[in-house]
Amino acid sequence: MRFFADQLILGLTDGAIFALIALGYTMVYGIIELINFAHGDIFTVGGFIGLTLIGILGLQHAPPALLIPGVILVFLVAMSLNGLLGVAIERVAYRPLRNAPRLAPLITAVGISFILEGILFLLKGPNQISYPNLLPGGSLNLGFASIGVGNIFIILIALGLMIALNQFIQRTRVGRAMRATAQDRDAARLMGININRTIGITFFIGSALAAAGGIIYGFDYQTIDFSLGFRNGLVAFTAAVFGGIGNVVGAALGGFIIGIIIDFVGGYFQGGQQWSDVVVFSILILVLVFRPTGLLGMRVPEK
């Protein structure tokens, strides 16, 4: 029972990170039908921006009273900067190809992914870099299980961001514009929606959430390296497809489920860790075979 609970908490923590990345994939796919391959690397860049800010502010040695506003500041600044990076990438690499054959932006996205990885590689080198964990330590003992306070914080931060996002999409004017653009770009344009701006905002939000995921990843694993984005991006994409691509709630749900699956496979099977990725990618293929619309997705006719 204790072991089960431990794995479940681990899975939910990993799942929170995957879900934050998956939201970016699903939003971008929903609005311009592009698999943004660079998104995994945008996540890594966000983590590195967070690390740099922590270093600049000297938060590892900050007194507890300054720590909380400091961490909030790190999140806000890193998310904004990463959001702008996402907007810039869309502007330079995807917008010019919006009416090109489908293959073109997809290949460009792979290229952007390599460029981001290459820049991180040049700046930060190939080795793992240690990341300070600024979340409170200790654990809550519930009798049948003990839960790390840090893990609770991670899950709460992620859930908070997801709820905020959902409210934003459902309740605000910009959110409505995003939904309209996703549904029918031409009709939305005729209704006076600024398509380019709406797509830009989508990239901004997706990349900002990825930055939050990157910082949380750093706190959780206390290490970061240039190539994180490839594997985590692929897993998060699986989560997005699993939940139903284009569906924000589905991506969050898919993220948590995939996180739990990974940690259960890794925890319960002998040598399971080296197979857990194989299991995840097999799930991806199986979902696409048997239920390509995912858990919550709807069938969309080909345009």
Partner 1 sequence: MSQRSGPPAAAGARKPSHFGALGRARYIPYLLLGVGLLLFPILDGNRSQVDVAAFAGVWVLLALGLNIVVGYAGLLDLGYAAFFAIGSYAFAILASGQFNIHISFWFLLFASAFIAAIFGVLLGAPTLRLRGDYLAIVTLGFGEIVPRVFRNASVFTGGVNGIVGVDQPKLPAVFGWSGNFGFNPIPYYYLILGVIVLSLFLINNLRNSRLGRAWMAIREDEVAAAATGINTVTTKLLAFALGASFSGFAGTYYASKLFIVSPESFSFQAVSVVVLVMVVLGGMGSMRGVIVGALLIYFIQSYVLIQLPGWIVSATDALNIDFLTKLDIGSYVQRSNFLIFGIILAGIMLLRPQGLLPSAQRKVELEGGTSDEAVADLRGTA
Which positions touch partner 1 (CB under 8 A)?
33-35, 92-93, 96-97, 99-108, 110-119, 121-122, 125-126, 230-231, 234, 237-238, 241, 271, 274-275, 277-278, 281-282, 284-285, 288-289, 292, 302
Residue closer to partner 1 by CB (options 69, 96) is 96
Nearer to partner 1 (CB atom), residue 28 or residue 157: 28
Which residue's CB is nearer to partner 1, number 221 or number 275?
A: 275
Give the residue with the Cβ less far from partner 1, 71 or 224: 224
Burial 76-91 (b: 16+ CB within 10 A, else e): ebbbebbbebbbebbe
Looking at the Cβ atoms of 153 and 275, the one nearer to partner 1 is 275
Q: How far is the CB of 239 from partner 1 (least distance, A)?
A: 12
Q: How far is the CB of 180 from partner 1 (least distance, A)?
A: 22
CB of 138 to partner 1, least distance (A): 36
Quick one: 218 or 294, whose CB is closer to partner 1? 294
Closest by Cα among 179, 31, 186 to 95: 31
Smallest separation (angstroms) from partner 1 to the CB of 70: 33
Nearest one of 143, 159, 75 to 151, comparing CA atoms: 159
Report yes or no: 236 and 18 within 8 Å, Cβ to Cβ. yes
Q: How far is residue 292's CA from residue 102's CA, in Å, rounded to a whole number?
A: 19
Sign of CA dihedral 138, 142, 144, 145: negative
Closest CB 274 distance from partner 1, rounded Å: 5
Give SS3 for 296.
Answer: coil
3: tokens are 């072991």
Distance CA 136, CA 129 (A): 21
Shortest separation between residue 210's beta carbon and partner 1, angstroms: 17
SS3 assignment, position 224? strand
